[in-house]
Amino acid sequence: MDTPIPAKNTSAFFAQSAIAFGVALFAVLIAIYYLPADGWPKAFLCLGTLFLTTSSFTLAKCIRDAQETQHVVSRLDQARVDRLLAEHDPWKEVG
């Protein structure tokens, strides 16, 4: 059994994702800047946006690392099974 190779993202998809992220973050920061409020609420919203952004990156990295670890473990298990099957001789006498 061959394990499926995960699909890689194209550079165009990566560029689209990065641009969309930048535009969304810029729009939120501009909206906070033009919000009719004092400096403290704006600062609170900016810090909340910063914390949400950095924690999103951290969560995405943790999920990616967990998936990569799972993929490596399944490949090692598959290699062990393949080796056992290659070494097995059904016609060999037990004894």
Q: pLDDT of the chain along its 95 residues, tens only?
A: 455 566 677 889 889 988 999 999 999 999 999 999 999 999 999 999 999 999 999 998 988 888 877 776 677 777 788 887 787 777 777 65
Q: Collect all residues with Cβ–Cβ distance below 8 Å to 35 and sequence separation of at least 6.
A: 41, 42, 45
Q: What is the Cα–Cα distance from 57 to 38, expressed in whole angstroms? A: 29
Q: How many CA atoms lie within 13 A of 78 on its CB side?
A: 10
**Per the confidence metrics, is the pTM higher than 0.95?**
no
Q: What confidence score (pLDDT) does residue 95 get?
A: 57
Q: Which two tokens stand for residue 77?
A: 């298990």
Q: Which amino acid is at 65?
A: D
Q: What confidence score (pLDDT) does residue 5 get?
A: 61
Q: What confidence score (pLDDT) does residue 39 get?
A: 93
Tell me if residue 38 falls in helix, strand or coil. coil
CB 33 within 8 A of CB 42: yes
CB 26 within 8 A of CB 50: no
The closest alpha carbon to 60, from 17, 1, 6, belongs to: 17
